[in-house]
Copies of this chain bind each other. A is one copy, B any other.
Amino acid sequence: MKEDFINCGIIGYGYWGPNLARNFFANNKFRLKGISDINLARLQKARDVYPEVLLCEDYRDIIKDPGIEAVAICTPVFRHYDIAKAALEAGKHILIEKPMTSSLKEGEELLEIAAKNKVKIMVDHTFIYTGAVRKIKEIIDSGEIGDIYYFDSVRVNLGLFQHDINVIWDLAPHDISIMNHLLGVNPIGVTALGADHIGNGLENTAYLYVDYGNELIGHIHVNWLAPVKVRTTLIGGSKKMIVFDDTEPSEKVRVYDKGVEIVNGDVDSIYKTLVQYRTGDMYAPKIDNIEALKLEVDTFYDYIRNDVQIEADGEAGLKVVRILEASQKSIKNDGKRIQL
């Protein structure tokens, strides 16, 4: 283990917690000291894998532990605020599941508390640490695709219905965090529409339209009720365009040398258009296959110890929650545009 390692704890050992536990355990910059969960069966699973880690049912036992410096919060969303607040006030750095909170107000409070207590908030926007998204970011930042025109993402399949949040809160945080990360500007308006076919008050099919200004738009289709799994993102640029298909085992990212050109010539026919399209090679860059969570955990360390600026900080988490909250308002008002 590294000399200056960080003792950490995990709160919530349900679906995602075990993945974080595995990564903290394998990383020599951290020492996984404690895990809490309200469910004994889950604690037993943790026991089987990490016989020497402290287990507890009450998350406060993790937070009170003076030997623990950082805490990962992997509970359902509605518990995030209380637990995060307690952790931050106890002086712990936190790595918190996305979406960061159930409301913008809660999120803003957490950022204030963190600032006051001089501790760090990182949000688990795992996707932005994947090889595919990092490669896309690199391509965009290099200027290769030119100005970005749109970001269009479809994330649908026959999925587990959540009973406390709708499909936007469940699935769209992935797309929103990727989109915000890649576009690098702040949205100015949100429109959301959807339907609840089961009648439990939670949309299972939804469309989220995000206006970033200057004709830059984002659109996300999320659906728990689709017969096939689709994970496709189109990114249109003035010079090139990208297709990111996350269901592909390899060649997840494809860069198309395609675009349109505005021709300022004479128009001798009513049918002629001034816009012509151009098409060239396509390439699929090699994607680094380091596990995203490994990189994320490394980044968490650098954030805490070295004060390195990171992409998935509390501010980034807040930006995702801002869009989610606006989508909620919009969808409850039949798709009324919500200004941000």
Contact = CB atoms under 8 A, between A and B. Distances in A.
B225 A162 contact: no
A279 B283 contact: no
Contacts of A236: 197, 205, 223, 225-227
B160 A273 contact: yes
A310 interface: no
B205 A207 contact: no
A243 B197 CA distance: 19
A196 interface: yes
A256 B250 CA distance: 12
Contacts of A162: 273
A283 B286 contact: no
B227 A163 contact: no
Contacts of A150: 195, 197, 205, 223, 225
Contacts of A262: 198
A226 B234 contact: yes
Contacts of A240: 227
A63 B212 CA distance: 51
A204 to B, nearest CB: 8
A162 to B, nearest CB: 7
Nearest to A212: B195
Contact of A243 (B200, B227, B242, B254): B227
22 contacts: A14-B271, A149-B195, A149-B197, A150-B225, A158-B258, A158-B279, A161-B260, A161-B275, A197-B236, A198-B260, A198-B275, A207-B219, A209-B335, A211-B334, A227-B243, A227-B254, A228-B234, A229-B249, A281-B283, A281-B286, A283-B284, A336-B337
Closest 5 CB pairs of A and B: A227-B241, A227-B256, A161-B275, A283-B283, A282-B284
